[in-house]
């Protein structure tokens, strides 16, 4: 290997956020992820869609070690996820996740929801954690709600708090698992706008969503999953205008 090759390889490695190689996962006898190969570059925005039960949640949960895989490899920001829990802890610090059902702590204020992990996990001092939390609550445009409790906020506001809370950990990658599917239609837009802003800021994002207008607007690539496999992956223009796989065509026909 020449020096040039070597520096090429090193810079290629540095630009990779997530690498999955021949990834397989089973739940008992059920083959939930089949031979997943995926390379996500830093700053890339990926939208994952597909029918219910196709493995979308399982796939993104594997990225932050919430699900273990049985074979193949996952490397996240240079750390390979193995059965060693220290690696999943390391990776989880780099990866923020937003769920369908906000999962805020109901007995803590919005500000406390946002400062809990930075104080206890990152060992930030309280003032610094609160300043960061107010910064991100400002970014998601609800700084005035800081002293309220989650139950006093609308669904859309709670989901924006969940995004701010994840950002407070200063993640390199953000995972979204159907972040708008539990929301009333009038609240979907405000959450998507927050996600569009995050994409503009250059965040590496993996978003499971059926919001196809969002996919068209921000995705670098769209993935279609079926029965645990990636059956199609393409740039949004090509994905929507000329889907190749019959199952993708059928799916798009149903939701568009
Ligand atoms: P999606 O997010 O695309 O709807 P999931 O990743 O949640 O799909 O699930 C994929 C498949 O794996 C489904 O058939 C689901 O029932 C199964 N599954 C998911 N989680 C578990 C689990 N903890 N135990 C057993 N089966 C599971
Ligand atoms: Mg799911």
Mean pLDDT, residues 23-38: 98
The tokens 């065509």 sit on which residue? Answer: 249
255 band by pLDDT with thresholds 50, 70 and 90? confident
Model confidence at 4: pLDDT above 70: no
Among the listed residues 50, 66, 128, 132, the one whose alpha carbon sits nearest the alpha carbon of residue 99: 66
Question: Looking at ligand 1, which atom is closest to the CA of residue 177?
Answer: 2
Mean pLDDT (the chain) is 94
Express each pLDDT in 181-222 by its tens digit: 999 999 999 999 999 999 999 999 999 999 999 999 999 999
Q: Which three-class secondary structure string do you get for the chain?
A: CCHHHHHHHHHHHHCEEEEEEEEEEEECCEEEEEEEEEEEECCCEEEEECCCCCCHHHHHHHHCCCCCCCEEEEEECCEECCCCHHHHHHHHHHEEEECCCCCCCCCCCHHHHHHHHHHHCCCCCHHHHHHHHHHHHHHCCCHHHCCCCHHHCCHHHHHHHHHHHHHCCCCCEEEEECCCCCCCHHHHHHHHHHHHHHHHCCCEEEEECCCHHHHHHHCCEEEEEECCEEEEEECHHHHHHCCCCHHHHHHHHHHC
The tokens 């109901």 sit on which residue? Answer: 106
- What does CATH list as the number for 15-101+172-254? 3.40.50.300
Mean pLDDT, residues 4-9: 51
Express each pLDDT in 114-158 by its tens digit: 999 999 999 999 999 999 999 999 999 999 999 999 999 999 999
Model confidence at 102: pLDDT above 80: yes
Between the CA of 177 and the centroid of ligand 2 the distance, in Å, is: 7
Mean pLDDT, residues 40-47: 98
Between the CA of 197 and the centroid of ligand 2 the distance, in Å, is: 24
Of the chain, the percentage scoring pLDDT greater than 70 comes to 95
Query: For a substitution probing ligand 1, which of 28, 30, 209 has the most ligand atoms within 8 Å of its CB?
Result: 30
pTM, to two decimals: 0.93
Specify the pLDDT at position 55.
98
Does the ipTM surpass 0.90?
yes
Between the CA of 118 and the centroid of ligand 2 the distance, in Å, is: 27
Specify the pLDDT at position 256.
76
Express each pLDDT in 219-243 by its tens digit: 999 999 999 999 999 999 999 999 9
């Amino acid at each position: 290997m020449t020096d040039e090759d070597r520096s090429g390889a090193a810079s290629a490695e540095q630009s990779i956020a997530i690498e999955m190689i021949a990834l397989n996962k089973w739940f008992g006898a059920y083959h939930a992820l089949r031979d997943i190969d995926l390379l996500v570059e830093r700053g890339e925005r990926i939208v994952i869609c597909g029918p219910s039960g196709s493995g979308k949640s399982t796939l993104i949960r594997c990225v932050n070690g919430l699900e273990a895989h049985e074979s193949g490899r996952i490397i996240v920001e240079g750390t390979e996820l193995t059965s060693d829990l220290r690696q999943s802890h390391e990776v989880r610090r780099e990866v923020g996740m937003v769920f369908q059902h906000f999962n805020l702590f109901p007995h803590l204020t919005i500000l406390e929801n946002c400062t809990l992990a930075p104080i206890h996990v990152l060992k930030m001092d309280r003032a610094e954690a609160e300043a960061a939390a107010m910064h991100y609550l400002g970014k998601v445009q609800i700084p005035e709600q800081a002293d309220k409790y989650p139950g006093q906020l609308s669904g859309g506001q709670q989901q924006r708090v969940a995004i701010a809370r994840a950002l407070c950990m200063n993640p390199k990658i953000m995972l979204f698992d159907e972040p708008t599917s539990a929301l009333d239609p009038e609240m979907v837009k405000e959450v998507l706008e927050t996600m569009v802003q995050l994409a503009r800021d250059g965040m590496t994002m993996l978003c499971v969503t059926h919001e196809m207008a969002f996919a068209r607007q921000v995705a670098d690539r769209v993935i279609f999953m079926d029965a645990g496999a990636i059956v199609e992956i393409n740039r949004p223009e090509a994905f929507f205008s000329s889907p190749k796989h019959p199952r993708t065509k059928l799916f798009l026909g149903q939701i568009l």
